Amino acid sequence: MKIKILTLFPDMFTGFIHESIIKRAIEKGVVSVSLIDIREYSLDKHKHVDDTPCGGGAGMVMACDVVDRAIKANKSENSHIIMMTPQGAPYNQKKALELSKMDEIMIICGHYEGFDERIRSYVDEEISIGDFVLTGGEIPAMAISDSVIRLLDHAIREESHLDDSFSTGLLEYPQYTRPIEYDGMRVPEVLLSGNHKNIETFRKKESLRRTYLKRPDLLENYKLNKEEEKLLKEIIEEEKV
């Protein structure tokens, strides 16, 4: 897979692509990450990429001609072009999985007061990582790239992400490791039993419990099977105590 990131600040991605899982995925050829400096496509001798907003107002607006040149110079026929903006569709695990199936995604990072409105005509979709505003699209671009790369074959072990929160529609069950007892808190005995069926049931129930307590909205669109219906009834009764 290819990920191309259009940004005014490519150095912000230095740590991102040279550390941990992302670095290993790049080294193994699972993914290539290209950082494209939008300033290189400015025809101004001072490399300006923005201008004052038409009609007046605070801040500066990224110019459509510069961004368009950057897109056209780097896109391929397989490019899926994404604009990072607070106005975009909320990002979620379903979208991460969808993007991970693509051959190439191009992510455009905004800055300053925002994009010239006409830039929207050159993109395939707009994405937001939440109802808040950042100084630019670089951090959201890293978040999306990270969430997509970890889903690629051979980036990490498949079983490491199959039970992730949101991957199944529920929050992930609690995890423990040694020491078995710490500060008066002990790992649940069922996880030490070696009984895989009981462990599976425990994890399923605790996944449902977490979702019920922390994100009940997720259960509205989740289709429970008979076992899960039984476990959820037990949870509701237990939480009443």
- Report the catalytic residues: 86, 113, 150, 164
Q: How far is CA 231 from CA 2, 91, 99, in A?
A: 42, 30, 34
- What are the two backbone dihedrals, phi and then psi, of residue 19, each rounded to the nearest 5 degrees? -135, 150
Cα separation, 96 vs 164, whole angstroms: 13
Q: For residue 153, which amino acid is it?
A: D
Cα separation, 193 vs 126, whole angstroms: 48
Cα separation, 117 vs 115, whole angstroms: 6
* SS3 (DSSP) at 92: coil
